[in-house]
Structure 1
């Protein structure tokens, strides 16, 4: 029963996370909040991080017996994968506009917002890792998760999050095509989805 509860909690987290960042919900929120929508991104990020920390802490209470445990000499591979994936996550994060990604820039420019219309970005970021693979942070997250020593609860969460990532990528791709049209379609043709140096 405890594993069913944790599974439902993580699935609910994924659904809420996707709903709040979806294009349709964002437009709806922008209409209702008007110029105060400038605070939405930061509030969303804070809410997501707090909820994530709570879920991670609860997952730790379900048991400490490791089912997946890297032993020498495989610990060398494990450490290499953890370091490499962490580096990729940081590098990918730096490819974005940090202030805009966190929602700080929107608040800084709060006074400049004169209407209630929700506007979406008009350019696609292709610098850094985003010029090699479209979703480097997702790839690195998957590698990082499965490189950890894990309990049964961890494995269950990793399976759910891996599935969520693959579903989320497809939904995000659809949203980005709606946002950018042919520009993103061309980006899809030029840059691989998840695995670098492969075809679309």
Structure 2
């Protein structure tokens, strides 16, 4: 695959990845899309639960296995290294689209907030969750995280230099602000159906497992630097005693 082709591929992969997140804003918030997460049930509960479990499991396996160093080492024998991250973004976007488009609503109301002010506040919290998630990617390097920087440097015939590990922005207060955003947007909703509750619970469990795998890789890469960061910075519940941003010499991990 030539340099220009890899760059075009990375841009297309980025577009698909971003499109899946935009669709998720509507799907999880019950805006505009026909098969939103809180839509009425159309199949029996047992079948819906099996289908949804398989969909979420496939997404979780793809999202975590493809991010592990051992998989990347094997995968880059097949996929050009400058396109590896873009391929991850593409596969993640497709897996997320499949999860949303094939998801089977379960029906049933867990809670339904009818007070206009409280509904507005919950929707605002949902929006804040998305804002935390997206802005946290820019605290690191959004375009490196989503595979564009690697492809652009390759297209420009410049070597890919790993970014230094740093703790800017939200990372001063919590180790995993992207996951804080995910959990926030999964749970804050004025209408919680059984379907939505199942998704939020599965997301939370997956995140707790993913953090263990990710931090194991980060310790292997950064050693004592990351151990100190882990000891001084909370995992998911922010501590708002403002710590100075820290920059380390070693590269940060892209693993989600």
If the TM-score is normalised by the length of the shorter chain, which range does it land in? Answer: 0.7 to 0.9
Q: Matches of 2:52 and 2:134 in 1, distance apart?
A: 28
2:143 maps to 1:99: yes
2:86 maps to 1:68: no
2:239 maps to 1:193: no
The question of whether the paired residues in 1 share the 8 Å contact of 2:126 and 2:185 is answered with yes
2:93 maps to 1:49: yes
TM-score, with structure 1 as normaliser: 0.85
- Where do 4+ consecutive residues of structure 1 move more than 6 Å? none
Which has more strand, going by share of residues?
Answer: 2
Q: Matches of 2:50 and 2:111 in 1, distance apart?
A: 20
Measured at CA, do residues 65 and 103 of structure 1 come closer, stay the same or move farther in structure 2, by a change above 3 Å? same
2:55 maps to 1:4: no
**C-alpha deviations, 1:73-114, integer Å up to 9, x for none?**
43143123213222212321220212211101111122345x
Secondary structure in 2 aligned to 1:17?
helix
Partner of residue 143, structure 1: 184
How do 1:1-200 and structure 2 match up within 5 A? 1-2=46-47, 3-30=49-76, 32-33=77-78, 36-59=80-103, 61-63=104-106, 66-72=109-115, 73-110=117-154, 111-112=157-158, 121=162, 123-148=164-189, 149-197=191-239
Measured at CA, do residues 189 and 198 of structure 1 come closer, stay the same or move farther in structure 2, by a change above 3 Å? farther
Partner of residue 251, structure 2: none
Per the TM alignment, residue 136 of structure 1 is displaced from its structure 2 partner at its CA by 0.8
TM-score, with structure 2 as normaliser: 0.67
Q: Point out which structure has higher relative CO (alpha carbons under 8 A, 6+ apart).
A: 1
| Unmatched segments (≥5 aa) in structure 1 | 114-118
Measured at CA, do residues 56 and 66 of structure 1 come closer, stay the same or move farther in structure 2, by a change above 3 Å? farther
Measured at CA, do residues 198 and 185 of structure 1 come closer, stay the same or move farther in structure 2, by a change above 3 Å? farther
Query: Number of matched residues?
Result: 191
**C-alpha deviations, 1:141-199, integer Å up to 9, x for none?**
11111112333222212211110001001111111001111111111122211111189
RMSD of equivalent CA atoms: 2.3
